[in-house]
Chains A and B, each alone.
Chain A
Amino acid sequence: DVKVTQSSRYLVKRTGEKVFLECVQDMDHENMFWYRQDPGLGLRLIYFSYDVKMKEKGDIPEGYSVSREKKERFSLILESASTNQTSMYLCASSLGAPGQRRNQPQHFGDGTRLSIL
Protein backbone atom coordinates (compact mmCIF):
# COMPACT_ATOMS: atom_id res chain seq x y z
CA ASP A 1 0.00 0.00 0.00
CA VAL A 2 1.07 3.53 -0.71
CA LYS A 3 1.96 5.46 2.40
CA VAL A 4 1.94 9.26 2.40
CA THR A 5 2.99 10.67 5.75
CA GLN A 6 2.54 14.25 6.86
CA SER A 7 4.75 15.20 9.77
CA SER A 8 2.09 16.86 11.94
CA ARG A 9 -1.66 16.33 12.36
CA TYR A 10 -2.14 19.64 14.17
CA LEU A 11 0.01 22.75 14.21
CA VAL A 12 -0.45 26.16 15.80
CA LYS A 13 1.77 29.05 14.73
CA ARG A 14 1.81 32.83 15.06
CA THR A 15 1.34 35.48 12.40
CA GLY A 16 4.62 36.29 10.67
CA GLU A 17 6.32 33.01 11.50
CA LYS A 18 7.96 30.88 8.82
CA VAL A 19 6.15 27.54 8.77
CA PHE A 20 7.31 24.25 7.27
CA LEU A 21 4.92 21.40 6.45
CA GLU A 22 6.61 18.14 5.56
CA CYS A 23 5.37 15.24 3.47
CA VAL A 24 7.06 11.92 2.73
CA GLN A 25 5.92 9.10 0.44
CA ASP A 26 7.36 5.61 0.29
CA MET A 27 6.35 4.44 -3.19
CA ASP A 28 8.95 6.14 -5.36
CA HIS A 29 6.27 8.35 -6.93
CA GLU A 30 7.41 11.01 -9.34
CA ASN A 31 4.57 13.45 -8.63
CA MET A 32 3.77 15.17 -5.36
CA PHE A 33 1.10 17.75 -4.58
CA TRP A 34 0.10 20.20 -1.87
CA TYR A 35 -3.56 21.21 -1.45
CA ARG A 36 -5.47 23.24 1.05
CA GLN A 37 -9.01 22.33 1.98
CA ASP A 38 -11.50 24.90 3.20
CA PRO A 39 -15.23 24.51 3.88
CA GLY A 40 -17.29 25.15 0.76
CA LEU A 41 -14.21 25.47 -1.46
CA GLY A 42 -13.14 21.83 -1.74
CA LEU A 43 -9.50 21.11 -2.47
CA ARG A 44 -7.38 23.78 -4.09
CA LEU A 45 -3.97 23.00 -5.52
CA ILE A 46 -1.15 25.13 -4.16
CA TYR A 47 1.94 23.65 -5.80
CA PHE A 48 3.01 20.38 -7.32
CA SER A 49 6.23 18.74 -8.38
CA TYR A 50 6.84 16.08 -11.02
CA ASP A 51 10.52 15.51 -10.28
CA VAL A 52 13.27 16.33 -7.84
CA LYS A 53 14.01 20.06 -7.79
CA MET A 54 11.08 20.70 -10.15
CA LYS A 55 8.01 22.64 -9.09
CA GLU A 56 4.92 24.04 -10.74
CA LYS A 57 2.44 26.58 -9.41
CA GLY A 58 -1.06 25.37 -8.80
CA ASP A 59 -4.17 27.50 -8.54
CA ILE A 60 -3.32 29.40 -5.34
CA PRO A 61 0.48 29.65 -4.92
CA GLU A 62 0.58 33.14 -3.40
CA GLY A 63 2.15 33.21 0.05
CA TYR A 64 3.61 29.72 -0.32
CA SER A 65 6.76 28.10 -1.63
CA VAL A 66 7.88 24.48 -1.90
CA SER A 67 11.03 22.42 -1.84
CA ARG A 68 11.75 19.02 -3.35
CA GLU A 69 15.37 18.09 -2.70
CA LYS A 70 14.69 14.34 -2.55
CA LYS A 71 12.17 12.30 -4.51
CA GLU A 72 10.34 11.05 -1.44
CA ARG A 73 9.98 14.40 0.34
CA PHE A 74 7.96 17.50 -0.59
CA SER A 75 7.91 20.46 1.76
CA LEU A 76 5.41 23.33 1.82
CA ILE A 77 6.71 26.61 3.22
CA LEU A 78 4.66 29.55 4.45
CA GLU A 79 7.20 32.36 4.23
CA SER A 80 5.36 34.67 6.63
CA ALA A 81 2.24 33.04 8.00
CA SER A 82 -1.01 34.99 7.98
CA THR A 83 -4.38 34.24 9.56
CA ASN A 84 -5.97 33.56 6.16
CA GLN A 85 -3.63 30.58 5.82
CA THR A 86 -5.43 28.79 8.63
CA SER A 87 -6.64 25.65 6.89
CA MET A 88 -6.35 21.91 6.44
CA TYR A 89 -3.33 21.07 4.27
CA LEU A 90 -3.24 17.83 2.32
CA CYS A 91 -0.28 16.25 0.60
CA ALA A 92 -0.66 13.69 -2.20
CA SER A 93 1.56 11.68 -4.51
CA SER A 94 1.09 9.82 -7.78
CA LEU A 95 3.04 7.71 -10.19
CA GLY A 96 4.11 8.67 -13.68
CA ALA A 97 5.73 11.34 -15.73
CA PRO A 98 3.94 14.14 -17.60
CA GLY A 99 2.36 13.03 -20.84
CA GLN A 100 1.63 9.49 -19.75
CA ARG A 101 -2.00 8.58 -20.26
CA ARG A 102 -2.19 5.65 -17.86
CA ASN A 103 -4.23 5.77 -14.69
CA GLN A 104 -2.47 7.90 -12.08
CA PRO A 105 -4.65 8.21 -8.99
CA GLN A 106 -3.37 10.47 -6.26
CA HIS A 107 -2.78 9.01 -2.81
CA PHE A 108 -3.27 11.31 0.15
CA GLY A 109 -1.80 11.78 3.58
CA ASP A 110 -4.01 12.32 6.64
CA GLY A 111 -3.66 16.09 6.50
CA THR A 112 -2.24 18.80 8.74
CA ARG A 113 -4.68 21.16 10.39
CA LEU A 114 -2.80 24.44 10.67
CA SER A 115 -3.99 27.34 12.80
CA ILE A 116 -2.34 30.75 12.52
CA LEU A 117 -3.01 33.01 15.50
Chain B
Amino acid sequence: GEDVEQSLFLSVREGDSSVINCTYTDSSSTYLYWYKQEPGAGLQLLTYIFSNMDMKQDQRLTVLLNKKDKHLSLRIADTQTGDSAIYFCAERYAAGNKLTFGGGTRVLVKP
Protein backbone atom coordinates (compact mmCIF):
# COMPACT_ATOMS: atom_id res chain seq x y z
CA GLY B 1 0.00 0.00 0.00
CA GLU B 2 0.92 3.62 -0.19
CA ASP B 3 2.94 5.27 2.57
CA VAL B 4 4.04 8.87 3.00
CA GLU B 5 6.69 9.91 5.51
CA GLN B 6 7.93 13.22 6.83
CA SER B 7 10.28 14.33 9.55
CA LEU B 8 8.51 15.49 12.68
CA PHE B 9 10.10 18.82 13.41
CA LEU B 10 12.06 21.66 11.81
CA SER B 11 13.44 24.75 13.49
CA VAL B 12 14.55 27.71 11.37
CA ARG B 13 15.57 31.33 11.93
CA GLU B 14 13.44 34.13 10.54
CA GLY B 15 14.74 35.19 7.13
CA ASP B 16 16.43 31.84 6.40
CA SER B 17 15.09 29.26 3.94
CA SER B 18 13.16 26.24 5.21
CA VAL B 19 13.20 22.90 3.44
CA ILE B 20 10.58 20.32 4.37
CA ASN B 21 11.07 16.82 3.00
CA CYS B 22 8.66 14.04 2.19
CA THR B 23 9.07 10.52 0.82
CA TYR B 24 6.39 8.34 -0.65
CA THR B 25 6.22 4.78 -1.88
CA ASP B 26 3.56 4.66 -4.58
CA SER B 27 5.13 5.12 -8.01
CA SER B 28 1.73 5.66 -9.63
CA SER B 29 1.17 8.97 -7.83
CA THR B 30 -0.37 11.58 -10.10
CA TYR B 31 -0.54 14.74 -8.00
CA LEU B 32 1.39 15.62 -4.86
CA TYR B 33 0.23 18.35 -2.51
CA TRP B 34 1.51 20.51 0.29
CA TYR B 35 -0.92 21.68 2.98
CA LYS B 36 -0.37 24.06 5.88
CA GLN B 37 -2.16 23.78 9.21
CA GLU B 38 -2.05 26.68 11.64
CA PRO B 39 -2.96 26.11 15.31
CA GLY B 40 -6.63 25.31 15.82
CA ALA B 41 -7.43 25.40 12.12
CA GLY B 42 -8.04 23.02 9.28
CA LEU B 43 -5.64 22.32 6.42
CA GLN B 44 -5.00 25.01 3.84
CA LEU B 45 -3.81 23.98 0.38
CA LEU B 46 -0.46 25.68 -0.32
CA THR B 47 0.63 24.25 -3.63
CA TYR B 48 0.73 21.08 -5.68
CA ILE B 49 2.79 19.47 -8.42
CA PHE B 50 1.84 17.08 -11.16
CA SER B 51 3.96 13.95 -11.27
CA ASN B 52 5.48 14.68 -14.70
CA MET B 53 7.03 17.91 -13.41
CA ASP B 54 10.36 18.31 -11.59
CA MET B 55 9.85 21.71 -10.09
CA LYS B 56 7.18 24.27 -9.44
CA GLN B 57 7.68 27.77 -8.08
CA ASP B 58 4.97 29.92 -6.55
CA GLN B 59 6.22 33.16 -4.96
CA ARG B 60 8.23 32.12 -1.87
CA LEU B 61 7.40 28.45 -2.33
CA THR B 62 9.42 26.01 -4.45
CA VAL B 63 8.38 22.38 -4.84
CA LEU B 64 10.94 19.86 -6.04
CA LEU B 65 9.98 16.37 -7.13
CA ASN B 66 12.46 13.54 -7.63
CA LYS B 67 10.27 10.84 -9.04
CA LYS B 68 13.09 8.29 -9.28
CA ASP B 69 13.76 8.53 -5.54
CA LYS B 70 10.09 9.24 -4.68
CA HIS B 71 11.16 12.36 -2.82
CA LEU B 72 9.22 15.61 -2.57
CA SER B 73 10.39 18.80 -0.92
CA LEU B 74 8.94 22.20 -0.12
CA ARG B 75 11.32 25.15 0.16
CA ILE B 76 10.08 28.34 1.79
CA ALA B 77 12.29 31.33 1.02
CA ASP B 78 12.72 34.17 3.54
CA THR B 79 10.82 32.28 6.24
CA GLN B 80 8.60 34.47 8.42
CA THR B 81 7.12 33.92 11.88
CA GLY B 82 3.72 33.48 10.19
CA ASP B 83 5.11 30.39 8.49
CA SER B 84 5.19 28.57 11.84
CA ALA B 85 2.70 25.73 11.37
CA ILE B 86 2.40 22.04 10.62
CA TYR B 87 3.04 21.15 6.97
CA PHE B 88 1.58 18.02 5.42
CA CYS B 89 2.52 16.44 2.15
CA ALA B 90 -0.08 14.26 0.44
CA GLU B 91 -0.16 12.09 -2.62
CA ARG B 92 -3.00 11.19 -4.92
CA TYR B 93 -2.31 7.93 -6.66
CA ALA B 94 -3.49 6.88 -10.10
CA ALA B 95 -7.06 8.05 -10.69
CA GLY B 96 -8.38 7.52 -7.21
CA ASN B 97 -10.19 10.16 -5.21
CA LYS B 98 -8.30 9.63 -1.99
CA LEU B 99 -5.22 11.39 -0.72
CA THR B 100 -2.64 9.75 1.50
CA PHE B 101 -1.12 12.16 3.99
CA GLY B 102 2.22 12.19 5.72
CA GLY B 103 2.36 12.63 9.48
CA GLY B 104 3.14 16.34 9.22
CA THR B 105 6.25 18.42 9.93
CA ARG B 106 6.00 21.03 12.66
CA VAL B 107 7.96 24.12 11.59
CA LEU B 108 9.01 26.57 14.25
CA VAL B 109 10.35 29.93 13.08
CA LYS B 110 12.55 31.71 15.62
CA PRO B 111 13.05 35.48 15.51
Nearest-CB residue, chain A, relative to B33? A105
The A/B interface has a contact count, at CB < 8 Å, of 57
Give the residues in chain A near B41, CB-CB below 8 Å: 110-111
Given the interface pairs A43-B88, A101-B95, the reply to whether A108 lies near B43 with Cβ below 8 Å is yes
Q: What is the interface size of chain A, counting residues whose CB is below 8 A from a CB of the partner?
A: 28
Contact for A41 among B45, B50, B88, B103, CB less than 8 A? B103
Cβ–Cβ < 8 Å partners of A43 in chain B:
43, 88, 101
Interface pair B95/A90, CB less than 8 Å apart: no
Contact with B along A98-117 (1 / 0, CB 8 A): 11110111111111000000
Residues of B within 8 A of A61 (CB): none
Docked-complex contact A106 and B95, CB < 8 angstroms: no
Q: Considering the complex, which residues of chain B in the window 31-59 have a beta carbon less than 8 Å from any beta carbon of chain A?
A: 31, 33, 35, 40-45, 48, 50
Alpha-carbon gap, A42 to B86, bound state (A)? 10
For the complex formed, measure the closest distance between the CB of A54 and the CB atoms of chain B, giving whole angstroms: 11
- Nearest-Cβ distance from residue B15 to partner chain A, whole angstroms: 29
Give the shortest distance, in Å, between B5 (CB) and chain A (any CB): 10
Q: Is the CB of A109 within 8 A of B92?
A: no
- Asked if B48 contacts A105 (CB within 8 A), the reply is yes
| Central interface residue in B30, B92, B97, B101, by most chain A CB within 10 Å | B97
Interface residue from A42, A90, A98, A107 paired with B45 (Cβ < 8 Å): A107
Is A94 interfacial (CB-CB < 8 Å)? Answer: yes
The answer to whether A25 has its CB under 8 Å from any CB of chain B is no
Cα A38 to Cα B90 with chains together (Å)? 16
Interfacial residues, chain B to chain A (CB-CB below 8 A): 8, 30-31, 33, 35, 40-45, 48, 50, 88, 90, 92, 95-99, 101-104
**Closest CB pairs A-B (n = 7):** A108-B42, A42-B103, A108-B43, A43-B101, A110-B42, A111-B42, A99-B95
